[in-house]
Chain A
Amino acid sequence: MNGIISISLSKRFLRVWQRNLTVYQRIWKISFIPPLLEPLFYLLAFGVGLSALVGSILYHDREVSYINFIAPALIAINIMYNAFFENTYASFVRMYYQKTFDGMMATPLFIEEIIAGEIIWGGTKSVIATAIMMGVISFFGLIHYPHGLLLLPLAFLGGIAFGSIGMFFTAIVPSIETFNLPIFLFVTPMFLFSGTFFPIENLPLWAQKLAILLPLTHLVKLTRSFSFGLIGAELLWNFTYLLTFCLIFFPLALFKMHHRLIK
């Protein structure tokens, strides 16, 4: 099986990526709006509304304002959402309803290239959304530069991680409604408990241990460190976790998709 994947995977996946880019260029005006407005809403609701109650937070022996604390988490959440939703709902629609992959398979493309192109497109959408959000958040002086620029390659890595697992779900769900399940059991808990809106140290010990298993925890840790300009060797562990996650789920997604579509 691995043999088939490695033989069939060439740089042609770029053609699939390009197809999605072409579609994106047609509708970019609409695609731009969510990453532009969403951080503003959150910053307003949580940063301004809630920070009056919370005050400041102790993070790694530093006092940070609540708005400063959640801004990088919003970026991490957006990285997760963009890739995950692209490679679940949007990819499923292309695969199942639009038969876009079927059409592509009547060309020199192989299924592994099609799926790889889709996942890398998911990662690209995370990067685009991150760049837009950074613009908004930097406007409030909430990102420390130049370290903050590391957020862009990080968005790609995070996007591949969440896109791969999204594509893995796409390969195994019987219908589009079934995505409710991984969203309810996987995405929503991460949104809440990955050190996004409060430090995971506030959780009971057993829950902290669970939170360490969630990929978003590691992504949040990295976006926060990059935004604060706190680069240290301990981040290598978070980076390694995300990379390992990609190395497991990217091939697994290709394998499962091959299994689903090649009959």
Chain B
Amino acid sequence: MQYIIEAENLRKRFGDVVAVDGVSFRVVPGECFGILGPNGAGKTSTIRMIYGFSPMTGGHLKVFGLDIQGELRAIKSRIGVCQQENTLDPDLTVQQNLEVFARYFDIPKNEAREKARELLQFIALDHRKNAKVTELSGGMMRRLVLARSLINDPELLILDEPTTGLDPQSRHQVWERLEELRSKGLSILLTTHYMDEASRLCDRLIIMDHGRILVQGKPLELIREHVGYDVIEVAGPNSKLRAYVQSRGLEHEDLGHRLIVYGQEGDTLFRTLSNQYCREGCTLRMATLEDVFLKLTGRELRE
């Protein structure tokens, strides 16, 4: 099996800070692979090693089966990257941003023009092709970055928080574009802070914290394994409820003003709880990836 990415015991250190501390994962062709984790978990650091932006401190890394140490140029020319920060060229127009970027990949002029036209249509920005980048809205810029990362027909698309700061409309538009690309067989590596985004787009994902992988798997399986089917949230729980939950040995998290019960029992438990202990402020909902994330990485703020 030829993997798109094969990372083995990847490590990255900045002075005293260990940003990535022995991360291993594999991405298979055509899959969308997610990297989740709180701020400072090491997502960007991991990704930057994969597209050759920063050298690794240790470990082994192969992309397209090529070793990153020896064949970086070949690898770089087959990847498309949306970086976390905006790196669009403000000195150029929308269309020029694509065409000048195409030159960096040695794409001939005519081909680049045609490709730019196609991509501007793909992201619905063809009517703004002569606008300055600085005149675009945040969502338009993000879409343009996505288009720019596709200019070389990449075999691997790397997206570092592609939808951060976008309104719901723009996010959905980006998701649809990504789904279209994935359906055509493009492999995608994605980081995000939006759990709904990860659930929707990722075939498999890892959750990282402090430079290490906590779990790895398919979104739904992770939810089942770590949380279950349902979650009951109780606002302002009283002591009787606490006692009941403890006596039954239910898996739960006590946040003081809020009690969260993870469960497999769903309806029956919910009825018991809401009838006997909390007439109001008791909700039953489906378990989500966000529950897994918070359960595994804790609820304290980072940095």
The chain A residues found within 8 Å of chain B, CB to CB, are 12, 15, 18-19, 22-23, 26, 98-100, 102-110, 262-263
Contact = CB atoms under 8 A, between A and B. Distances in A.
A100 B104 contact: no
Given A22-B96, A99-B85, A103-B87, 9 more contacts: A18-B103, A23-B92, A26-B92, A102-B87, A105-B52, A106-B83, A106-B149, A108-B73, A263-B14
Interface in B161-207: none
B53 A105 contact: yes
A107 B91 CA distance: 18
A23 B73 CA distance: 26
B104 A98 contact: no
Contacts of A98: 87, 89-91
Given A22-B92, A99-B85, A107 B100 contact: no
Contact of B105 (A105, A108, A110): A108
The 5 closest A-B pairs by CB, nearest first: A103-B87, A107-B104, A106-B81, A108-B77, A99-B87
Interface string B55-80: 10000000000000000010011010
A102 B83 contact: yes
A108 B87 contact: no
B51 interface: yes
Nearest to A4: B55
A98 B89 CA distance: 7
B39 interface: no
B103 to A, nearest CB: 5
A4 to B, nearest CB: 10
Contacts of A15: 103-104, 106
A22 B106 contact: no
Contact of B100 (A12, A19, A106): A19
Given A15-B103, A106-B51, A263-B54, A100 B89 contact: yes
B41 interface: no
Nearest to A24: B91
Nearest to A104: B104
B110 to A, nearest CB: 16
A12 B76 CA distance: 14
Contacts of B149: 106
A98 B90 CA distance: 7
Interface of B: 14, 51-55, 73, 76-77, 79, 81, 83, 85-92, 96, 100-101, 103-106, 149, 152
Contact of B103 (A19, A99, A106): A19
B175 to A, nearest CB: 22
A108 B100 CA distance: 13
Contacts of B86: 99
Contacts of A109: 104
Contacts of A18: 100, 103
A107 B55 contact: no
A167 to B, nearest CB: 18
A228 to B, nearest CB: 40
A19 B52 CA distance: 22
Contacts of B52: 105
B276 to A, nearest CB: 58
A107 B101 contact: yes
A261 to B, nearest CB: 9
Contacts of B81: 106
Contacts of B77: 107-108
A94 to B, nearest CB: 8
A67 to B, nearest CB: 38
Contacts of A100: 87, 89, 91
A15 B108 CA distance: 12
21 contacts: A12-B106, A19-B103, A22-B96, A26-B91, A98-B90, A99-B85, A99-B87, A100-B87, A100-B89, A100-B91, A102-B53, A103-B87, A103-B101, A106-B51, A106-B83, A106-B87, A108-B76, A108-B105, A262-B54, A262-B55, A263-B54
B55 A103 contact: no
A108 B14 contact: no
B79 to A, nearest CB: 8
Contacts of A99: 83, 85-87
A101 B18 CA distance: 25
Nearest to B73: A108
B219 to A, nearest CB: 27
A21 to B, nearest CB: 10
Nearest to B77: A108
B73, B87, B104, B152 — most chain A CB neighbours (10 Å): B104
A98 B83 CA distance: 13
Contacts of B101: 103, 107
A189 B267 CA distance: 83
A109 to B, nearest CB: 6
Contacts of B103: 15, 18-19
B53 A103 contact: no
A103 B91 contact: no
Contacts of B91: 23, 26, 98, 100
A13 B88 CA distance: 19
B75 to A, nearest CB: 9
